[in-house]
Amino acid sequence: MDWSIKYNPAYWEGKRLAYPEVPKEHPKFAQSIAIGNLLFVSGCSGQDTLSGQPAPDNAGDQVGVALEKARKALEAAGSSMANIVKTFFLVRSLDDYQAVRKAETEYYEQYAPLLIEQPPAATLMVIPELARPEYLVEYEVIAALDRDAPDWGVTYYPEFWGGKELAYPHVPKEHAKFARTQVVGNLVIVSGCQALDHNTVKVETMDFTEQSEIVLEKIKIGMEETGGSLASVVKTNVFLKDLNELARYRDVERAFYQRHVPDIGNNLPASTTIIVDELPRPEFLVEVEAIGVADDKDLNWQVTFTPGDKDASATVSAGNLVFLSGCDSADTGTVEQQINAALDKVRTNLEVAGSSMDKIVKTLMMLRHIEDYPKMRKVEIEYYERHALHLVANPPVSTFVQLPEITRPDTLFQIDVTATR
């Protein structure tokens, strides 16, 4: 099976986004990185960073700019918009939700009609800040290079609400539109799951435990539809509006796994918790997206769990891909100290899993305070200079968010990592 890696650099106003072409405090990331037939694209903001033109002053127009950047990145890598299998939208205000979805649908109508009929798996979150105050949206995608590649083809599994497929024109342009799952090769990508009753299209409970159970049941159903199972989930991202609910979610999750996968032991997925301002509807209390393997008996996609704590594996490998749980600092300290401690954890976990820092392909960087952004980028590149020289000239695909809280009240930084073996 082809697991070859192809790197595509990013540019900002003519400068390659790598040190020393840009200062240590500046953003540094790849435009895209392909692993076999799977393509990761860095988060695309609503500003044309090649020309340096100001970002539009409204979310709908910024979506058009962000999608245009994503389209160019995909085409530069030998792919196309039609090959997108997963989107992650970050928006600053829930009031912009309908404008974002409408602009997205109209862009697909023009440049990727297939995505009108077969929308990608998707997650959308509302967060306080992006990398610059003027950014209102950011758009991150995962795509296939070739939808019909041998052993790496794409399979679409539709989602339905109230008997309507979540695709245009079955639902309005302003409405949510996404797949239940998309499968690339043997890799299953499950859309963000919430506690919405798909028959009534309403949230029937405001009890956090009950909402968590519904979300986990949806992940289980999505995995089983593809031929996988709850036991073959390798990574989850858990989105919460209240940090105080994190411990309760983990208790519900473990009980759910023990009920449905009695021999699970320590083989829970790698997992990252992301505290957000809002989920796509005010009544949603929790949302979870997942990645898994449809056939964990396929030797090309062998799944290996590396123990972590009681709530998640430190890493989980699926084929040549390595997924880490979110890494932060166990101790308080300055933001620089916390970033170094988190990166130490990344390095240790990767090495235990048979990988290394040099093999990082994707990061999601999370800060508590937006004013720490230049410090974060400087510490990151100086850490790479000491421990991962390859990433100095070839930084990973990356997306950044500022969060209202992270994993504990004093946590200032967290990083989510995908790597190869």
Per-residue pLDDT of the chain (421 residues; tens, 9 = 90+): 899 999 999 998 889 999 999 999 999 999 999 999 999 999 999 999 888 889 999 999 999 999 999 999 999 999 999 999 999 999 999 999 999 999 999 999 999 999 999 999 999 999 999 999 999 999 999 999 999 999 899 999 999 999 999 999 999 999 999 999 999 999 999 999 999 999 999 999 999 999 999 999 999 999 999 999 999 999 999 999 999 999 999 999 999 999 999 998 889 999 999 999 999 999 999 999 999 999 988 989 999 999 999 999 999 999 999 999 999 998 889 999 999 999 999 999 999 999 999 999 999 999 999 999 999 999 999 999 999 999 999 999 999 999 999 999 999 999 999 999 9
Residue type, 360: I
| DSSP-based helix, strand, coil % in the chain, nearest 5 | 30, 30, 40
Whole-number Å distance between alpha carbons of 260 and 9: 44
Cα 245 to Cα 274: distance, rounded to the nearest angstrom = 12
Q: At the fourth CATH level, which superfamily is domain 186-325?
A: RutC-like (3.30.1330.40)
Residue 185 Cα distances to 142, 147, 152, 264, angstroms: 13, 9, 4, 25
Beta-strand runs (E) in 208-354: 233-240, 270-275, 286-293, 303-306, 315-318, 321-324, 327-328
Take residue 208 and report the two structure tokens written for it: 């956090």
pLDDT recorded at residue 50: 81
- Quick one: which H or E segment has residue 110? helix 97-111
Contact 350, 419 (CB under 8 A): yes
Cα(54)–Cα(68) distance, integer angstroms = 15
- Say how far apart CA 140 and CA 148 lie, in whole Å: 22
**Predicted TM-score (pTM) of this structure:** 0.97
What is the rounded distance in angstroms from the CA atom of residue 283 to the CA atom of residue 286? Answer: 9
Token reading at 205: 């409970």
Describe the crossing of helices 208-225 and 246-260 by its angle, rounded to 10 degrees. Answer: 40
CA nearest 145: which of 44, 16, 5? 5
CA pair distance 65, 232, nearest whole angstrom? 37
pLDDT for residue 366? 97
Q: Residue 334 corresponds to which amino acid?
A: T
Length of the chain in terms of residues written: 421
CA–CA gap between residue 97 and residue 84 (Å, rounded):
20
Q: Can you give the pLDDT at residue 393?
A: 97
Question: What 3-state class would DSSP assign to 95?
Answer: helix
Give the 3-state secondary structure of residue 295.
coil
> What single-letter amino acid sits at 281?
R
Beta strand 360-367 with 397-402: parallel, antiparallel or unpaired?
parallel
**Three-state secondary-structure class, residue 280:** coil
The per-type count for the chain, helices as H runs and strands as E runs, is 8, 25
pLDDT at 23: 97
The token pair that represents 124 in the structure block: 């959308």
H/E run at residue 137: strand 137-144
